[in-house]
Every structure is written in C-alpha cells, then in structure tokens.
A and B are shown apart, each in its own frame.
Chain A
Amino acid sequence: MIAQILANGLLLGGLYAAIAAGFSLVWGVLNIINLLHGSFIVLGAYGAFFLHTAAGVSPFAAAPAVGALMFPLAYALQTMVINRVVDRPVLITLTLTFGLNLILNNLMLLAFKADYRKVVLDPPLGILDLGAIVLPVDRLVATACSLLLVLALWSLLRLTRIGRAIVAVRMDRDAAALMGIDVRATYALTFALAASLAAAAGCLLAPLFPISPVASATYLGKAFVICVLGGLGSVPGVVVGGFALGVMESLGALSLGPEHAGTLAFLLLLLLLLVRPSGLLGRRGFD
C-alpha cells in the first residue's frame, strides 16, 4: 500500500519537476515571478489537444513541436513588454505579469470556453503490473518525458554557450554585461525557453488531467510550492522539490482525504517560507 502511494507520488513528482522548471528559471534569472506560467502550461495542453483531435498526433510527440511554437511568442512578449520593466521593483513586475495573465486567460476562455477537455489515447496504454505496485503506462511515459525535458534544460545550461550566458546573468548581471553578454537578449531567451518548457509540460499533462483555462491557477500554485520547496533557481532543486511535493500530496491525500491536498501544499509553502525561505537545496547560482 505504502509502496503504491510512494510510486504514485514519484510519478506525479516527475511531472511537477517539468511544471516548475521554467518558472524557477525565470524567477532565478530575471528576478520576476511569472504569473503567466500556469496559462502557458494550459496553452500547451490545448496545443496537444488540437493536434491530437485534428491530426491524431500523440501528445508526447507533440510536446517538442508545441514548445517550439511557443518560443517565438514568448520571446516577442519578453522583448516588447516585460523587458521594459524588468529592473523595476517587485510590485511593478508582479502587477505586470498579473495583468498579462488576465488578458491571456480571458482570451483562452473566449477561444476555448471553460469546458473541461481531455486527450483520450486510443488505444489506451494500459497498466504495468509489477506485483506489489501497479503503474499506469501513460503516467510513466509522461513522467519519463518530463524528466527528459528537465535533463535537456540542465544540459543546455551546463554545456552550451547560451546556457553558460544564462547562468552568468543569473550569478551577476553587471559582471556578465562587462564580459560582453547581451543581458536583455539573454533575458528574452531565458523567458522564451521557460515558456517553451511550460508548453511542452502542458502537452505531457494533456492525456492525464482535464484541460481548461481554469486550471492555470492550480499549476501556478504548484510551481510556487515546488520552487520554494526545492530552492530557487537550480535544476536539481526543481527535481527534488517536484518529487517532494508529489510524494507529500499522495501521502496527504491518503491521510486527510484528496480534497485537502491543495490546502496541504499551501500550508507547507507558508511553513517553509517561515523557517527556510531559501528552500531545501537553496544556494546562489543556477547550475
């Protein structure tokens, strides 16, 4: 029983890592809390939904394509709007992304309506019976893909010139500028990268959870909690935070009943902010 709950939690946690990775990246590098993040995830899920209904593309295969589509949109948004206030105090940047999110969410409600939709895989992927525990294959694939995405982000930051530039800006913006890094362009790149990751994560969620503009706030809340749990601005932190939240939600749903899982996460967030605002793996530098 406990093994099954742990397995459920870990499966969920892998997905959570992909949900939070982009949010953490933007927060760490741009020092902005991107309230649009949840809506980006939902937008990605709609992308997967429409690709699936129109062309029968599997949502897992659609993830890279939808992510790539999101990239230029987010890049433009960052260069034209957010970069204008990126150095301003928290109140201004937070209010800006709140306003942008109101617009995007309203547009999605108009375009897609609030009905819940879901990608139904045909044929269903079935379950994997390991004796003591039973794993749904669709969740397993989604979690594997999402961990792959996070791994891709990590290697991008580690191994490429662009990635090193992003890390440099995160560590010390002024020094990075002196080293010849175009800080504004790096901001735009980071934001676009994070949005692509969010959209791709949305594709992976599409066959598992109902899709609706209303869901964006939930995803955003989870990204908050994971960032604070794992510590801001590190890829391993996001993975740890994601798994921690997944396991805790499964255990919480067992002991308190599923309707309190959300409250539990938020209480945990408040508690963690009180005692350890830097998170479980918190430290400076994004690597």
Chain B
Amino acid sequence: MRGLLLPLLSGVALLAAAAFATLAGDAYALRLATTLCLYIGLASSWNVIGGFAGYPSFATAAFFGIGAYAGSVLQAGYGVAAPLAWLSGGIVAALLAAGLGYCILHLRGHYFAIASLVVADVLREVANSWISLTNGGMGISLPLLSIGVEDQARLYFWVFGAVAALSVAAAWLVDRGRLGFALRCVEQNETAALMLGVDTRRAKRAALVLSSLAPGIMGAVYASWVSYIDPTDAFDVLLSVKPIIMALLGGVGTVAGPVFGAAAFLALEELFWRNLLELHEGALGLLVVLLVLFLPGGIRLVRPRRLLAFRPLAKPGRTP
C-alpha cells in the first residue's frame, strides 16, 4: 500500500497545482507550474536509468537538446504541425538512446558517466557546425501558434503536465514490473544478476530508451514554448545535472522522490536565486555540495538531530 500511496499523493498534488494555476490565471504562477512539470518529467525520467539501474547518466541534456532540435527543424523548416513535431522530438531522442545503448552501456562507473556527458558536447558541436540544417550558432526561431498569449501559456502547461504525468506513471509501472526488478538487480550487483540469468543488457537498454522519451518530447515542447533555441541553450550541461540534483534531493531510486525533489528544487530556485543573479551558479553549487555531504539519501531521510551533529549520515537507507 505504501508503494501506491506516494505516487497517488504526488499525482493529486500535481493536479491541485494544475487547477490552482489555471484557475488563478496568474501568468507567473502558470509559468512556475509549467517549469515544475518540466522538472518533474526530467527528474523522473533520469531516475529510471540513474536511480533504478544505478547508471550515472549525464545524457539528459543530449536527449533534451536533440528533441528540441528535431522539433524545431521539423516545424520551422518543413512546416510540420506542432503536436507531431513534439512527438517526433521524443522519437528522435529514443532513437539516439537506442543507439547509445549499444555503444556505451557496456561501460561502468566513471567511464559511463563521461561517455554520456560527452554525447551532449558532440551534439552541440554538430548543431553549431551543421549550418544548413540547424542554422548554427544563430539558432532557430519557431513559428508561433495562432492562439492568444494566455491560451498558449495554458496549453503549454497542460502539455508539459501530461508528459510529466506520463513519465511518473511510466516510472511507477517500471518500478512494480519485471523491468524494475531487473534494474534493481543491476544496481545492486550487475555481475551476480548476469550470472542468475537476468538479461542485464536488455534491461539497461530499455531503461535508457525509456529515460530519453520524456526529455526528447519536453525539449521539442520547450523549443516551441520559448520559440527560439540555439546550441548552447539546448545542450546546456546544467540540463543533465539539475535532474540529478532533484532526484538526490527527493531520494534516488524511488518513484515519488524525483517528484518531491523537483518541487523542492524549484522552490529553492525561486526563493534564493532570483535575488542572486551574479552568484546564481555558485549558490547552485553550494546547494549541491551541502546536499551531497549531508543528505545523500534525500530530504525524506532528514533527522534534525543528526544534522546538528555536523557529520554526514552514516548509513543512508538507500545509496545511489
């Protein structure tokens, strides 16, 4: 029952936030809620490969960026309708993930982390230099939808919300299914899992593809939302790191963790960093350092008395 409760609760919380945002009609609240959905989708997707399987993937930016570029090129260059372009963003990202799965999933630890990190760098350079397709560093401006500004904001919120809900639902299903079991085995001891007959390579590939779908779609939708992308923006390394921080905040390897983590991260972002323009990145870095040192198991493992003792938690319930 406990396993069911948390996702249900987070779903309800999401719906409540949605209703609040649309009813209030406040542009700022709506923008915040849309960003929250984006964060939830990214963190929850990362969690499938990074949390369940324990593979430290830094490829989120690559999936997001290639989705953004696929959607933008299709819309701006070939006049494809927006919903179709958004879906294509997800498909292109999934294809990239499938290819990557064959190439880099045999690497473990540091090597996997670096290989996944480098993918975004390579794609950024490609986007920079393949000018005939991507317009290079000039970026791509997207056609605006032919509806009013407020309707547009509401539409994007619902689209991001739907993708976020789907990715949380997917994580929940994976968690309860055979795939989730296989991924847990990989996380705990891959060699032993292999010896016991778990098809670890297939499970890892499935996890990587699953974790690329939502970022790909969201990248494409994001491009339409802000109506302009360039290589630096689309393949920003922070896009890979922020979902990890959110998952760490909420609890890696759980279904509800990334959802709470995304909400907590957004709250911190809004509370502190809007006032710290020059120190924005440094403050984010400080948050990361404190989080890693004192709360490696996420917020739900906070023991106020332990915090006062000024040392890292000795035995977090679940280590990533």
Contact = CB atoms under 8 A, between A and B. Distances in A.
Interface of A: 27, 31, 33, 81, 84-85, 88-92, 94-96, 98-107, 110, 221, 224, 228, 259-260, 262-263, 266-267, 269-270, 273-274, 277
A33 B293 CA distance: 17
B293 A98 contact: no
B292 A103 contact: no
A270 B129 CA distance: 19
B319 A102 contact: no
Contacts of A91: 50, 54, 56, 113, 244, 252, 320
B107 A273 contact: yes
Contacts of A92: 292, 296, 319-320
Interface stretch (B147-155, B159-167, B281-289): B281-289
Contact of B122 (A85, A95, A99, A267): A267
A96 B111 contact: no
B241 interface: yes
Contacts of B113: 33, 90-91, 94
Interface in B93-146: 103-104, 107, 109-111, 113-115, 118-119, 121-122, 125-126, 129
B292 A270 contact: no
In this complex, which of A98, A101, A267 has the most chain B Cβ atoms within 10 angstroms of its Cβ?
A: A98
B118 A270 contact: yes
Contacts of A94: 56, 110, 113
A230 to B, nearest CB: 15
Contacts of A101: 285
A101 B280 CA distance: 13
21 contacts: A31-B110, A33-B110, A81-B289, A84-B293, A85-B312, A89-B56, A92-B296, A94-B56, A96-B289, A99-B284, A105-B282, A106-B285, A110-B278, A221-B121, A260-B129, A266-B122, A266-B125, A267-B122, A270-B119, A270-B122, A273-B104
Contacts of B244: 91, 95
Given A102-B282, A224-B114, A228-B114, 9 more contacts: A33-B113, A95-B245, A98-B288, A100-B285, A103-B286, A106-B280, A110-B278, A263-B122, A270-B103
B115 A90 contact: no
Contacts of A221: 121
Contacts of B239: none
Contact of A27 (B103, B110, B319): B110
B192 interface: no
Interface in B49-74: 50, 54, 56
Contacts of B119: 270
Contacts of B104: 270, 273-274
B221 interface: no
Question: Interface size class for chain B?
Answer: 35 or more
A102 B285 contact: yes
9 smallest beta-carbon distances between A and B, as pairs:
A99-B288, A102-B285, A106-B282, A103-B285, A263-B125, A91-B56, A99-B285, A99-B289, A96-B292
Interface in B234-286: 241, 244-245, 248, 252, 278-282, 284-286
A267 B287 CA distance: 33
A269 B118 contact: yes
A266 B121 contact: yes
A107 B278 CA distance: 9
Given A33-B110, A266-B121, A277-B111, A81 B54 contact: no
Contacts of A84: 293, 312
Nearest to A217: B237
Given A88-B319, A266-B121, A95 B248 contact: yes
A102 B312 contact: no
A88 B282 contact: no
B87 to A, nearest CB: 28
A98 B278 CA distance: 18
A11 B320 CA distance: 43
Contacts of B115: 269-270, 273
A228 B114 CA distance: 10
Interface in B10-66: 50, 54, 56
A18 B20 CA distance: 57
A99 B56 contact: no
Given A99-B288, A266-B122, A33 B114 contact: yes
Contacts of A267: 122
Contacts of A105: 281-282
Contacts of B296: 85, 88, 92
Contacts of A31: 110
A171 B294 CA distance: 30
A96 B319 contact: no
Nearest to A99: B288
A141 to B, nearest CB: 32
Contacts of A269: 114-115, 118
A262 B125 contact: yes
B28 to A, nearest CB: 27
Contacts of B319: 88-89, 92
